[in-house]
């Protein structure tokens, strides 16, 4: 009798009840989605801060340089740093960097690299 009981307990140990993995998978998916949402919210918050900071910088340039001597943009025109430029597509901008053939202009929509001083 002891042999049968030992054999049957071994059989019970070998045949485990299958786990319900659907619940585990669903919980893992829920955690993954929540983490992705937190990451997206953080990125959106940082982007909003960067945009607000850039808007403050643009307004500061507008105040410092002014809009009295605005020059229309042209590839053949030579622009100096701190010049106000009116671009047909990007609008009012301010030259922040000037090299021999390129300028970096801060527009309300963002900074753009433009060509200038072309013969």
User: For the segment 1-23, what is each residue's pLDDT rounded down to a tens digit?
Assistant: 555 555 555 555 577 767 778 88
**Assigned domain for 45 exists:** yes
**Assigned domain for 84 exists:** yes
**Assigned domain for 14 exists:** no
Encode pLDDT of 30-74 as tens digits. Answer: 999 999 999 999 999 999 999 999 999 999 999 999 999 999 999
**Assigned domain for 4 exists:** no
pTM higher than 0.85 for the full model? no
Tell me phi and psi for residue 94, to 5 degrees.
-130, 130
**Assigned domain for 13 exists:** no
Give the count of domains, the chain: 1
**Assigned domain for 26 exists:** yes
Provide the residue range defining the domain that includes 95.
19-115
Provide the b/e sequence for 15-28 (b: ≥16 CB within 10 Å): eeeeeeeeeeeeee
**Assigned domain for 69 exists:** yes
**Assigned domain for 7 exists:** no
């Amino acid at each position: 009798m002891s042999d049968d009981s030992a054999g049957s307990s071994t059989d019970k140990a070998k045949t485990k009840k299958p786990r319900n993995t659907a619940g585990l998978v669903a919980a893992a998916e829920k955690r993954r989605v929540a983490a992705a949402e937190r990451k997206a919210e953080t990125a959106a918050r940082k982007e909003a801060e960067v945009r607000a900071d850039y808007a403050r910088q643009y307004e500061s340039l507008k105040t410092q340089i002014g809009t009295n001597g605005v020059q229309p943009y042209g590839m053949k025109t030579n622009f100096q740093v701190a010049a106000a430029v009116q671009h047909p597509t990007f609008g009012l901008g301010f030259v922040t960097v000037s090299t021999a053939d390129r300028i970096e202009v801060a527009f309300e929509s963002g900074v753009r690299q433009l060509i200038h001083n072309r013969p």
